[in-house]
Amino acid sequence: MKLVVFDLDSTLIDAEGIDEIAKLAGKEEEIRKITKKAMEGEIPFNEALKKRVKLLKGLEIEKVEKVANSLPLMKGAKETIEELRKHGIKTGVVSGGFDIVVNKIKNELGLDYAISNKLIVENGKLTGEVVGPIVDEESKGEALEEIAEKVGVDLSEVVAVGDGANDISMFRRAGLAIAFNSKPKVSSAADVVVLEKDLREILPHILKTKTVEDLKKERKEVEIRIKQLKKNISEKRALLRKINRKKREIIDTIRIKNSEANRERALRDKVNRKIKELKAKRKVENMRIKELKEELKKLQSSSGKGDFRKIRREIQALEWKLQTTVLDIK
């Protein structure tokens, strides 16, 4: 399907626009009765339209516009139009109602086309007259053909969605007719009947996709999956925090070990310096012992019987000192 044409009242909006405007004129009950008979096909649409508009004579246009801006969209209307747009399907509205309401809804939903009637206004007030193309039971069907021609699609690729007797002319021309929350006479003329007041219910019939319940189920599954993913992310973050704590502990341990190694290195350097000093001292004392031994040898050679006890004691003292000094560290 390439084009979907909607009725306005009780289809795109959850209200009858003219009935709501009638409240301003205090003619609500009279107009509601006429609307009901027209929608059920009990009286000709053209006759009903003229009678209802005549009862609105004298209403200030500003107040009518205020009512138009307050009319609620049908449940699922925005989502339905957005989904159709995603699939490249053009949308339009054909209404026996008034441009004041129709244009507001067209702009709000982003519809591509709109055809409706126009209330005559003089000096800021309704005259009780109306002009426009939607004047009888066949007018909507002709308007649907007009939109299809503008889009450049065959009528077999057009969907009509409506609830009233004056929508039947659209149903006869469209490739697919959907009666939405409709009156009994309308349902029998449609290919599909949607009873629930949720426009999203028409999407499976147009797109040949899943039902709203299927979409809700899938959404719930996605929400569960998202919840599980969030839980997994939370667990992984907790694990990462634990790893980071362990990493910091390891870094602290390495820092302590490095500090201890530095202290040991400093101590080793100190010991090595001490050993070097002792070795130098030992070398000096070895030289002294050698000198004393040479001196003793000379004395023994020259005198033969001299007193050498003093020199021997000095040599013995130096040798003892050398023996008791720890010089094994290399």
Q: Are residues 243 and 114 in the same domain?
A: no
User: Model confidence at 61, in pLDDT bands (50, 70, 90)?
Assistant: very high
Percentage above 70 pLDDT, the chain: 88
Confirm if 117 and 99 have CB atoms less than 8 A apart: yes
Average pLDDT of the residues in 37-56: 85
DSSP characters for 249-313?
HHHHHHHHHHHHHHHHHHHHHHHHHHHHHHHHHHHHHHHHHHHHHHHHHHHHHHHSS---HHHHH
Last residue in a domain, options 161, 180, 209:
209
Full residue range of the structural domain in which residue 103 is found: 3-209
Residue 238 lies inside a defined structural domain of this protein: yes
Residue 26 lies inside a defined structural domain of this protein: yes
> Which pair of tokens denotes residue 262?
């530095």
Query: Would you call 271 exposed, middle or buried from its count of C-beta atoms within 10 A (0-12, 13-18, 19+)?
Result: exposed
Of residues 9, 19, 163, 167, which has the active-site annotation? 9
Q: Are residues 147 and 44 in the same domain?
A: yes
Q: Are residues 17 and 73 in the same domain?
A: yes
Last residue in a domain, options 175, 209, 243:
209
User: Model confidence at 183, in pLDDT bands (50, 70, 90)?
Assistant: confident
Full strand arrangement of the beta sheet holding 113-122 = 125-131, 113-122, 90-98, 3-6, 158-162, 176-180, 192-194
Last residue in a domain, options 181, 209, 237:
209
Q: Are residues 276 and 155 in the same domain?
A: no
Taking CA atoms, 322 is separated from 176, 284, 318, in Å, by 119, 11, 6
User: What's the pLDDT at 215?
Assistant: 55
Average pLDDT of the residues in 249-259: 89
pLDDT at residue 217 greater than cutoff 80 = no
Q: What is the pTM assigned to this prediction?
A: 0.62
Of residues 7, 163, 167, 198, which has the active-site annotation? 7
Number of domains in the chain: 2
User: What's the pLDDT at 146?
Assistant: 96
Average pLDDT, the chain: 86
- Per the annotation, the verdict on 9 as an active-site residue is yes
pLDDT at residue 135 greater than cutoff 70 = no
**Per-residue pLDDT tens digits for 292-322:** 778 777 776 665 545 566 766 777 776 676 6
pLDDT at residue 237 greater than cutoff 80 = yes
User: What's the pLDDT at 209?
Assistant: 53
Q: Are residues 58 and 159 in the same domain?
A: yes
pLDDT at residue 84 greater than cutoff 80 = yes
